[in-house]
Amino acid sequence: MASAAKTIVATGLTSGLGFEALKQLLAAPEPYHAVLGARNTSAMDRSLHDAAFESTNKVDVLPLDLADLKSTRRFAEAALAKVGEARIDYLFLNAAITDPAVANPRGYRWCESAVVNHVAQFYLVHLLREKLEASKARIVFVSSGAVTAVPDPGIAEEALRSGAGTEGMPLYCMTKFVQLLGAHWWRRELTGVCDVVAVSPGLVPGTGLARGSGVKLPTGSPDAKTIPQGAQSMLAALTRSDFPEDPDRIFLTSWGEWWDKAVFEKSLDKQLQDRWSFSKEEIEKEAGIST
């Protein structure tokens, strides 16, 4: 691997939009060292073998189940070991599920969709923070225009609790909304050190995200994008440098525009951001992780 390779640590690149984004990333002229989390590492290894990426790239696949916060911690430790003395240039947080808010089998107070889509990946930033700061890394949260469909952010705690019964699009919208709250918090926390970007891949009817959720994505929408187009939108967040002067405008749309903050104004409530931006210690106490 060339010494000039960029290092990316990523979640959610094992299938669908995420795997397409990985293929596009590793097809670029610039070499990469990709450190990827996967629930099924063997299946991911087979997919990588079939894709036959350029030998200038290095890909490490590590076990990661974001529904399990202890697994998230083990992944962070293993990822740091793989990165070694190199920088982390990018932390790319793409994983998402749409499972209904049934009782969490691990006893967490949040449902699994809330844990996977927000809590575990927010925790991962905590776990990698020292390295991210030393690297002046860019942190990308793959978000969604669905954040604008949340009518009342005040119901998030009830809607996302374990056993709440929330399902379908209301659940997905709420998990992506609290994820965006966390992205804003990290932007505030890491100002002047790390760039923090939220990005939407757009409306992609071909994605498997809605499988089993009852959510139907309209294929005939004029705004609909293909999986390759959605992946391109996601990857744009790694390289854009034309940041708006207003630091709250961190959201890059699938049209390549920085959304006016009036569009996602509800997510700019700092008290709400603080409420959903749990400390590392709070998360570990919830998960029964001793330090």
Q: Can you give the CATH number for the domain in which 255 is found? A: 3.40.50.720
Give the per-residue pLDDT at 225.
83
Extract the tokens encoding 81: 């070991």
pLDDT recorded at residue 214: 52
Within a domain: residue 1? no
Mean pLDDT score, 208-215: 51
**Res 117 pLDDT > 80:** yes
Mean pLDDT of 193-200: 98
Q: Is the dihedral of CA 60, 52, 238, 220 positive or negative?
A: negative
Is 257 exposed, middle or buried, given 0-12, 13-18 or 19+ CB atoms closer than 10 A? exposed
Show which residues are catalytic.
172, 176
pLDDT reading at 212 higher than 50: no
Give mean pLDDT, residues 141-164. Answer: 95
Any domain includes 275: yes
Question: What is the reported pLDDT for 258?
Answer: 98
Q: What is the pLDDT of residue 232?
A: 96
To the nearest whole number, what is the mean pLDDT of the chain? 92
Quick: pLDDT tens for 213-255. 455 555 556 567 899 999 999 999 999 999 999 999 999 999 9
- pTM score: 0.94
- 8 A C-beta contact, residue 121 and residue 66: yes
Domain tally, the chain: 1
**Residue listed under structure tokens 């942190």:** 139
Domain around 57: 6-287
Query: How many angstroms from the chain centroid is the CA of residue 156?
Result: 19
Q: Give a yes or no: residue 231 inside a domain.
A: yes
CA distance 185 to 272: 10
pLDDT of residue 2: 44
Residue 20 placed within a domain: yes
Residue 207's pLDDT band (cuts 50, 70, 90): low
Asked, for residue 197, whether it belongs to a domain, the answer is yes
Exposure b/e, 110-133, CB count within 10 A at least 16 = b: bbbbbbbbbbbbbbbbbbbbebbe
214 in a structural domain: yes
pLDDT of residue 118: 98
Q: Is 147 inside any structural domain? A: yes
Q: Where are the alpha helices (DSSP H) in the chain?
A: 16-27, 41-51, 69-83, 112-114, 120-135, 156-159, 168-189, 227-239, 270-275, 280-287
User: Is residue 36 domain-resident?
Assistant: yes
